């Protein structure tokens, strides 16, 4: 089927194969040719990118505040889940959020961070939530985490 169709945008008569398939049109082909669609999409993407760059510059503080609030909410949700329903260390009961973190029970945190290709706690918390809170983690305060790590190192040295 090598019929010609005229693109109303550029005004050129082109082969029907130069038009995208579009079931919403009576002819089954898009109104504009592929080249005109492509050029229009490039303009749209550029204008959209420019709009969002301007928007981000104007609203930098509110965007940062919303991101901080979102990350903190995820952190609290993760700490609560791995703290057995409370925001506290599972060993000593420390409740100050600033002192708490997520511990890899099997001492494989470094390998896990390499796999995630991110060392940021916020990315880790988002990953835990996205993966529906997998097993092998617990909420510990930094003191208990340090003592656990030292005890693990001493046990490794004895072997």
pLDDT digits (tens, 9 = 90+) for 32-49: 888 888 888 777 777 777
Put simply, whether the predicted model's pTM sits higher than 0.75 gets the answer no
Domain count, the chain: 2
pLDDT score for 2: 54
Rounded to the nearest integer, the mean pLDDT of the chain is 86
> Among 40, 58, 76, which residue terminates a domain?
58
Do residues 136 and 72 both lie within one domain?
Answer: yes
pLDDT score for 159: 64
Does the structure show a pLDDT above 80 at 143? yes
- Cα gap 82→77, rounded to integer Å: 9
Structure token digits, residue 107: 């001492």
Mean pLDDT of 83-106: 92
Q: Residues of the chain with pLDDT > 90: what percent?
A: 42
Do residues 154 and 77 both lie within one domain?
Answer: yes
Please indicate whether residue 135 or residue 122 has the higher confidence score (pLDDT): 135
Do residues 46 and 82 both lie within one domain?
Answer: no
Confidence band for 116, pLDDT divided at 50, 70 and 90: confident
pLDDT score for 1: 46
Do residues 80 and 153 both lie within one domain?
Answer: yes
Do residues 47 and 19 both lie within one domain?
Answer: yes
- Cα gap 106→95, rounded to integer Å: 23
Do residues 78 and 131 both lie within one domain?
Answer: yes
| Domain coverage including residue 127 | 67-158
Give the strand pairing for 137-141 and 100-104: antiparallel
Mean pLDDT of 63-85: 95
The DSSP result for 99-159, as a single string, is: GEEEEETTS-HHHHHHHHT---HHHHHHHHHHTT--SSEEEEEHHHHHHHHHHHHHHHHH-
Mean pLDDT of 101-120: 82
Do residues 103 and 32 both lie within one domain?
Answer: no
Q: Residues of the chain with pLDDT > 70: what percent?
A: 97
Does the structure show a pLDDT above 90 at 153? no
Do residues 51 and 72 both lie within one domain?
Answer: no
> Among 58, 77, 103, which residue terminates a domain?
58
- Cα gap 143→82, rounded to integer Å: 17
């Amino acid at each position: 089927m090598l019929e010609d169709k005229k693109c109303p945008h550029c005004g050129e008569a082109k082969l029907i194969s130069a038009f995208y398939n579009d079931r919403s049109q009576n002819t089954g082909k898009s109104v504009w040719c592929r080249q005109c669609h492509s050029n229009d999409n490039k303009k749209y993407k550029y204008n959209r990118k420019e709009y969002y760059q301007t928007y981000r510059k104007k609203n930098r503080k509110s965007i940062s505040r919303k991101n901080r609030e979102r990350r903190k909410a995820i952190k609290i949700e993760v700490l609560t889940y791995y703290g057995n329903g409370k925001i506290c260390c599972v060993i000593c009961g420390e409740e100050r959020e600033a002192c708490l973190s997520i511990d890899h029970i099997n001492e494989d945190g470094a390998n896990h961070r390499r796999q995630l290709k991110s060392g940021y706690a916020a990315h880790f918390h988002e990953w835990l939530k996205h993966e529906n809170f997998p097993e092998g983690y617990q909420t510990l305060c930094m003191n208990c985490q340090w003592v656990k790590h030292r005890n693990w190192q001493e046990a490794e040295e004895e072997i």
